[in-house]
Structure 1
Amino acid sequence: MTKADIIESVYEKVGFSKKEAAEIVEMVFDTIKETLERGEKIKISGFGNFIVRDKKSRVGRNPQTGEEIEISARRVLTFRPSQVLKNALNASAEAAEAAQQAAAAAAATSAGGGSGTTGQG
């Protein structure tokens, strides 16, 4: 999904003009970005947490040459999904798996059922 897709979804669901929907989405992303730049945590109930962590510099290796190099200190962004989001993802994964199993069973039944009835005429 792209930012344009999000704007389109807001436009369709909320009923604002496309320009208003785009402005709102931009404002939300700008607010999130500014908050993370300050190093603050963002907690969205029912969705998850965005956390900025500081990593110290460390020694690593160039995988091609094996040469030791220093990896500079930096800030990294991590996302930890809420339990609600995890449950929703697993529920949809389970539903997709069940649908695949049902389709496979239906295919096996139609293939097996056709060959089993030919001898009984």
Structure 2
Amino acid sequence: MIRSELVKRIAGRHPHLYQRDVEKIVGAILGEIVAALERGDRVELRRFGIFSTKQRRARMTRNPRTGELVRVDEKRFPHFKASKEMHGRLNATRDRKSASLPSEAA
């Protein structure tokens, strides 16, 4: 799902809200998450997951084309960890499907 689909789906479920208002709300939420990550904060959305940043140390590596040594600077990158409830919801349908399938006899 892309951002515009999310906005349409939310606007469809809440017909009393204008689509342009939903776009502003979604933009504000995502903007706040990004701003918090830029500050080095962690964002926890209960029953959904945790957004945080991780740090990669500076290192020396090789250019695969030339074999030349290249310095790669220290970097931060976003990280997401899904909540236990999210894991459970994602795997619940798989568990139900596998339980209903006949087991193969050996």
TM-score, normalised relative to structure 2: 0.81
Paired residues, number: 101
Aligned to 1:21: 22
Q: Helix, strand or coil for the counterpart of 1:34? A: helix
Distance 1:85-1:39 versus aligned 2 partners, 3 A rule:
same
Distance 1:63 1:93 in 2: 41
Shift of 1:65: 4.3
Q: Deviations over 1:45-103 (max 9, x none)?
A: 0111111122220122334444432221111111111111111111133345567x58x
1:27-106 aligned at under 5 Å gives the runs 27-95=28-96, 101=101
Q: Percent of pairs identical after alignment?
A: 25
Shift of 1:37: 1.0
Distance 1:74 1:7 in 2: 32
Kindly indicate which of the two structures has a greater share of residues assigned to helix.
1
* Larger relative contact order (Cα-Cα within 8 Å, sequence gap ≥ 6): 2
Q: Counterpart amino acid of 1:26?
A: G
Distance 1:96 1:7 in 2: 31
Distance 2:95 2:67 in 1: 43
Q: Please list every run of 5 or more consecutive structure 1 residues that lacks an aligned counterpart in the other structure.
A: 103-121
**Please, which moves more after superposition, 88-97 or 53-62?**
88-97
Shift of 1:39: 1.0
Q: Helix, strand or coil for the counterpart of 2:41? A: coil
Shift of 1:9: 1.2
TM-score, normalised relative to structure 1: 0.72
Distance 2:93 2:67 in 1: 43
Cα-Cα RMSD: 2.0
Distance 1:20 1:95 in 2: 39
1:100-115 aligned at under 5 Å gives the runs 101=101
Distance 1:35 1:12 in 2: 29
Aligned to 1:2: 2
